[in-house]
Structure 1
């Protein structure tokens, strides 16, 4: 609470937790944020949420972001929820596979979804925080420059990195086994897999348009960030 005393605007990102249930962890962090907003009378909040949070259920870990949206809405503050796409930086979580020319996902490799640079999310958040005239509750998609499939991502990376990258759909059972081997509990594994499973047949509440499209391309990001790491 003391960290937010006297502030006039809050940018909130639920921090990672070690909770057995990741959704419960989001709830706990969201409750802390909402309490700070109420107790310190913070008038405006920008929350880094996610595409899929609007569904409220069926998106695994992201369901906790939907619950945080509800908690912040209930404070009475003016709130904007940034519904962000799939981070380019998620590719950094499996550099060994990229080095080996592999790009795996439990999603069908032709399934398109928004991909976005985290730097662009920060820029959108800063503009929103500094804009003084908006009031009420808002949601804003942050979708990157294009919806991409894993096949298209592999093609872009192949061109930038100068190596053959192939996208493969992985069975959920294979991914689940790897996550359990890495130390995740069954609840944590289900929350992780649910984030991808919820994408199937889903259309974001905030459609792609001028306001939701951000400029940094995957190719530009890969050239600047990913290529030097390989």
Structure 2
């Protein structure tokens, strides 16, 4: 049995679709979800549903009973008191359940940056890497999907792109870095969960097929959308001000520290190879994902 957490999110939802299509008949699927009504009815009839938060000890204990593998994704907590609480604190009950139920394999959503000079001051990424260490300490076979910035994050700026031809960020306009589509992250997770011959602990980088700068992305979006799109760089102070009040102070500083570290090379530590590259180009993502949202 495979347990899928966050099955209604961008990554978990895509992963669930893949597993429903490709999982062998003898392999059961179980999902942990706060609101089962958010799952399509056709999905609910083909999976075992555990209702509740996977940060709750009783819920995650029930979810792990009889399971062989777990897909682990920590949901955002806008009002978390600290980055450690948001990641390791949320994961600690699950770590105990992995041990108690002798879970064999866990695949987690994490981030690039381990081993870089800025890894210890990278906000969300620093906390995510500590979470990986916590899970690995249980003795399960663990693979952390080491991700850069998601292409899909741009969907939150679809209205600005449509109405003003502008998207914003804090990194230098010409700084090239990897980006990944969430569907490629889900595919990487599915491959690991469907073939559990791997052992030990480690990272699986998901780098996408190319490094692009914000200016490169603006050029591609302009061509795909048939209208000018430009990038505006925000200062970290302006970025902090835009977040303040919308989420708690710990999350604000976690984002600011992460974006500062990205400017300083957080995502530069892994070389792209056939094993770390993924198929979805930014142009393809714009055509298939961004354009329909902007046009809608």
Match for residue 4 of structure 1?
A: 64
- Aligned mate of 2:148, from 81, 85, 98: 85
Pairwise CA RMSD:
1.6
* Structure 2: stretches of 5+ with no match in the other structure: 1-60
Match for residue 114 of structure 1?
A: 178
Alignment of 1:20-39 (within 5 A): 20-39=81-100
Q: Offset at 1:53? A: 5.0
In 2 relative to 1, CA 136–204 (structure 1 residues): closer, same or farther, beyond 3 Å?
farther
Larger Rg: 2
Match for residue 247 of structure 2?
A: 184
In 2 relative to 1, CA 20–98 (structure 1 residues): closer, same or farther, beyond 3 Å?
farther
Match for residue 125 of structure 2?
A: 62
- Quick one: distance in 2 between partners of 1:212 and 1:134? 17
Q: Offset at 1:204? A: 4.3
- The one-character-per-residue Cα deviations of 1:149-186 (angstroms, maximum 9, x if unpaired) are 11111111111111111112111111111111x52333
- Quick one: distance in 2 between partners of 1:156 and 1:178? 27
- Quick one: distance in 1 between partners of 2:293 and 2:196? 40
Q: What is the number of equivalent residue pairs in this alignment?
A: 229
Alignment of 1:1-230 (within 5 A): 1-17=61-77, 18-53=79-114, 56-99=119-162, 100-180=164-244, 182-199=245-262, 200-202=264-266, 204-230=268-294
Q: Which runs of 4+ in 1 moved over 6 A?
A: none
* Structure 1: stretches of 5+ with no match in the other structure: none
Relative contact order, CA 8 A, sep 6+: which one is greater?
Answer: 1
In 2 relative to 1, CA 220–43 (structure 1 residues): closer, same or farther, beyond 3 Å?
same
Alignment partner of 1:15: what SS? coil
- The one-character-per-residue Cα deviations of 1:91-115 (angstroms, maximum 9, x if unpaired) are 0112222121112111111111111
Q: Offset at 1:49? A: 0.6
